[in-house]
């Protein structure tokens, strides 16, 4: 496969996953704001600020918007063209990449992505957004799920597909770690205590944004604690949005690309992903909290981006 094509498949997939994560986070935050007991304007704004730090777009936002509130943040994260990681920008970039590899992906995939892009540009999308933001984000997530389903059902599971998987899971591992970190940025109101009602509501929001609520509740019989939520989203071995699951799938994709055996490595990307994977396999929640959840997540994000860099170096160095 052409290196350029591999690179485009990888990024096409990352951008799709990125857009999906943003839609999830916004959906959940709207609900969090609605559930909040502090319904004053200031209280609501306090709940919107962390979105920007989670998506690492605070500076750009401040240079563009005077006021921080639900409307400006949603607009910025959803439709803002100047924001290169807005949902619209991500979908546009995914489509640009898809255009260059149309002979690799199936027509059905292209058409789904193209429809989504045309929809986001249309007045109908704006109208749906005004009508019900929650409904709008849900339907977007559905569209992304359709894309994933179409991809799995219509594209040969060969090299190109493995690059798509690699992109998807790298981005997902990164997104889940950011969502968890989101909780770190949300300040508890001063009179609230850790483990109190507000704290639990916030942890539940984190679960929801990863579609993990039901899976989690089954496992922990309705008990929500910070340790168990973090443990679940970082270390669970078969929940498809946990970091460990994502890194494992990434490692699998890398080995499928090179043809080397799991547990061994034939290039730097595989070595780094294998190391990250085994760390996750043998880590406990206790040790994570001992070293500090925020620090742990930060470090994990760095290691994920190192795998991404090594992957580009291995397969696309001449681009």
Partner 1 sequence: MLPPRMKGFFGHYETGGFFDEMFEADGTVRPHYSKILERFSEMDSASFESKRALAEKTYLNQGITFTVYSGDEGTERIMPFDLVPRIIPADEWRLIERGLEQRLRALNLFLHDIYHDQRIVKEGVIPLEIIRTAKHYRPELVGLDVPHDIYIHICGSDLIRGADGTYMVLEDNGRCPSGVSYLLENRQAMKRVFPKLFSRHAVRSVDRYPQELLEVLRYVAPQGNPDPTVVVLTPGIYNSAYFEHSFLARSMGIEIVVSQDLVVKDACVYMKTTKGLKKVDVIYRRIDDDFLDPTVFRKDSVLGVPGIVNAYREGNVNLCNALGTGVADDKVTYYYVPAMIKFYLGEDPILPNVETYLSAVDSDRKFILENLENLVVKAANESGGYGMMIGPSATREEIEKFRAAISADPRGYIAQPVISLSRSPCYFDGKFEGRHIDLRPYILMGKKTTIVPGGLTRVAMRKGSLVVNSSQGGGSKDTWVLDESEATC
The residues of the shown chain that bind partner 1, judged by CB under 8 A, are: 1-6, 96, 99-100, 102-103, 107, 110-111, 114-115, 118, 159, 257, 315-316, 318-319
Q: How is residue 275 written in tokens? A: 């190391």
Alpha carbon distance 293, 203 (integer Å): 14
Please say which residue, 275 or 316, places its beta carbon nearer to partner 1. Answer: 316
Q: State the nearest-atom distance from the C-beta of 166 to partner 1, in Å.
A: 12
Alpha carbon distance 307, 76 (integer Å): 29
Q: State the nearest-atom distance from the C-beta of 163 to partner 1, in Å.
A: 8
Alpha carbon distance 241, 4 (integer Å): 28
Please say which residue, 96 or 228, places its beta carbon nearer to partner 1. Answer: 96
Please say which residue, 109 or 293, places its beta carbon nearer to partner 1. Answer: 109
Q: State the nearest-atom distance from the C-beta of 316 to partner 1, in Å.
A: 8
81: DSSP letter: S
Q: State the nearest-atom distance from the C-beta of 196 to partner 1, in Å.
A: 50
Q: State the nearest-atom distance from the C-beta of 266 to partner 1, in Å.
A: 12
CA angle centred on 156, ends 153 and 157, rounded to 5°: 90
Alpha carbon distance 52, 58 (integer Å): 5
Residue 221 exposed, middle or buried by CB count within 10 Å (0-12, 13-18, 19+): exposed
Question: How close are the terminal C-alpha atoms of the chain, in Å?
Answer: 14
- Residue pair 166/10 in contact (Cβ under 8 Å)? The answer is yes
How many C-beta atoms surround the C-beta of residue 177 within 10 A? 21
Please say which residue, 98 or 175, places its beta carbon nearer to partner 1. Answer: 98
Please say which residue, 8 or 90, places its beta carbon nearer to partner 1. Answer: 8
Compute, in degrees rounded to 10, the torsion defined by CA atoms 56, 60, 66, 72: -60
Q: State the nearest-atom distance from the C-beta of 75 to partner 1, in Å.
A: 20
Alpha carbon distance 193, 177 (integer Å): 24
Q: State the nearest-atom distance from the C-beta of 315 to partner 1, in Å.
A: 4
Please say which residue, 118 or 153, places its beta carbon nearer to partner 1. Answer: 118
Please say which residue, 73 or 257, places its beta carbon nearer to partner 1. Answer: 257
């Amino acid at each position: 496969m052409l290196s350029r094509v591999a690179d485009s498949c990888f990024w096409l997939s990352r951008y799709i996953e990125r857009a999906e994560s943003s839609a999830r986070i916004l959906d959940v935050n709207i609900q969090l704001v609605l559930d909040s007991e502090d319904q004053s304007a200031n209280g609501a704004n306090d709940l919107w600020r962390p979105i920007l730090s989670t998506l690492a777009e605070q500076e750009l936002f401040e240079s563009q918007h005077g006021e921080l509130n639900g409307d400006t943040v949603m607009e910025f994260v959803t439709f803002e063209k100047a924001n290169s990681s807005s949902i619209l920008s991500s979908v546009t970039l995914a489509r640009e990449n898809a255009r260059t590899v149309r002979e690799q992906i199936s027509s059905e995939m292209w058409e789904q992505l193209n429809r989504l892009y045309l929809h986001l540009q249309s007045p109908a999308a704006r109208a749906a957004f005004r009508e019900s933001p929650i409904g709008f984000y849900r339907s977007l997530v559905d569209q992304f799920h359709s894309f994933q389903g179409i991809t799995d059902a219509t594209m040969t599971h060969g090299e190109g597909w493995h690059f798509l998987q690699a992109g998807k899971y790298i981005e997902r591992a990164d997104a889940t770690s950011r969502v968890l970190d989101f909780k770190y940025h949300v300040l508890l109101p001063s009179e609230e205590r850790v483990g109190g009602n507000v704290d639990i509501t916030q942890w539940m929001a984190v679960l929801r944004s990863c579609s993990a609520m039901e899976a989690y509740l089954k496992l922990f019989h309705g008990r929500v604690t910070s340790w168990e939520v973090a443990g679940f989203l970082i270390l669970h071995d078969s929940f498809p949005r946990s970091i460990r699951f994502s890194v494992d799938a990434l490692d699998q994709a890398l080995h499928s690309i090179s043809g080397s055996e799991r547990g061994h490595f034939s290039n730097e990307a595989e070595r780094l992903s294998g190391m990250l994977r085994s760390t996750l396999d043998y880590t406990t929640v206790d040790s994570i909290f001992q070293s500090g959840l925020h620090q742990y997540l930060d470090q994990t994000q760095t290691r994920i981006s190192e795998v991404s860099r090594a992957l580009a170096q291995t397969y696309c160095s001449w681009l």
